[in-house]
Amino acid sequence: MIRRMDDTAMIINPTREKGEPELPAAGILLINPAEAAAGLRLAKNRNARRLFLFNSKLAEIPATPPAGSFFVAGPAVGAPMAVLTLEKLVVLGARRIIVYGWCGSLRATLRIGDVLLPTWAISDEGTSAHYPASSQPESHAPSRQLLADGLIAQGLTVHTGPVWTTDAPYRESTIQVGRLGGQGILGVDMEYAALVAAATFRKVELTAVLLVSDELWSGKWNPGFRTKAFKKKSREILLFLADFCAGLVS
């Protein structure tokens, strides 16, 4: 059994190296490669400066008063990569992070194209256990409510609740999906449990926006992420999140 230790005993700690930038406090961590590419194009169109991030990509969008500056980072697929990226963003100055990714639906009430704002998570991945917390980590409630209000105003169907985070999407069984869905778990992803655990441990605000990309609740896989309607909705959400972050002036 691996014994967890306090952070001061760690051999390697994340640091801001000489010459590395200091980021704005607010920004978006984009999980999937398609959204990350779109986010970088958006950043370029807003005169962003590209910055080095050893395991991913990063850009800082300058302030255009009254809008503030914010960063865009990604991709970061899977819990280990996502937390590795988060750790670096935090030491570079990130304090209010919005994660944008996809999730599968475990309940018939969530359909492809709906939005899920996760609260807490069942961890079925190996990263979050390394970030101990005194209570169940949750997303930042005030930001979650602001995001929900804004997304609903955009005409989107928004749900809030717990998710299941797994390292092995190809090992999701009908028994697991039925059991967890019956317990009120709304969706499944690969990163959220680890990200919210690490953010809680590092004492930064984190909220997540997950677009329902596929449905598993029927016992058969129903993918929707290849459709034009899904891709259009994803682009609209990304634009909304960029404007949302620009409004988070410290």
* CATH number (domain holding residue 162): 3.40.50.1580
Q: Is residue 2 part of a domain?
A: no
**Average pLDDT of the chain, as a whole number:** 94
CA distances from 49 to 46, 60, 88, 106, 223 (A): 9, 5, 18, 40, 35
Average pLDDT for residues 204-213, to the nearest whole number?
Answer: 98
Question: 137 with 165: CB under 8 angstroms?
Answer: no
Residues 6+ apart with CB under 8 A from 12: none
User: What is the pLDDT at residue 7?
Assistant: 61
Residue given tokens 């896989």 in the structure block: 221
Q: Is residue 7 part of a domain?
A: no
User: What is the pLDDT at residue 82?
Assistant: 98
Q: Residue 84 and residue 161: Cα distance in Å, rounded?
A: 25
Q: Is residue 176 part of a domain?
A: yes
Q: Is residue 4 part of a domain?
A: no
**Where does the pLDDT of residue 117 fall: very low under 50, low under 70, confident under 90, or very high at 90 and above?**
very high
Average pLDDT for residues 188-196, to the nearest whole number?
Answer: 98
Q: Is residue 12 part of a domain?
A: no
Q: Is residue 9 part of a domain?
A: no
Does the bond joining 66 to the residue before it have cis omega, within 30 degrees of 0? yes
Give helix 228-246 / helix 141-153 axis angle, nearest 10°.
130
Domain containing residue 61: 22-246
Average pLDDT for residues 140-166, to the nearest whole number?
Answer: 97
Q: Residue 214 and residue 134: Cα distance in Å, rounded?
A: 33
Q: Is residue 11 part of a domain?
A: no
**Where does the pLDDT of residue 6 fall: very low under 50, low under 70, confident under 90, or very high at 90 and above?**
low
* Number of separate domains in the chain: 1
Q: Residue 55 and residue 76: Cα distance in Å, rounded?
A: 8
Nearest to 129 by CA among 81, 82, 194, 184: 194
pTM of the model: 0.95
Give helix 192-202 / helix 79-91 axis angle, nearest 10°.
30
- Classify 65 as helix, strand or coil: coil
Q: Is residue 180 part of a domain?
A: yes
Q: Residue 172 and residue 138: Cα distance in Å, rounded?
A: 24
Type of residue numbered 39: G
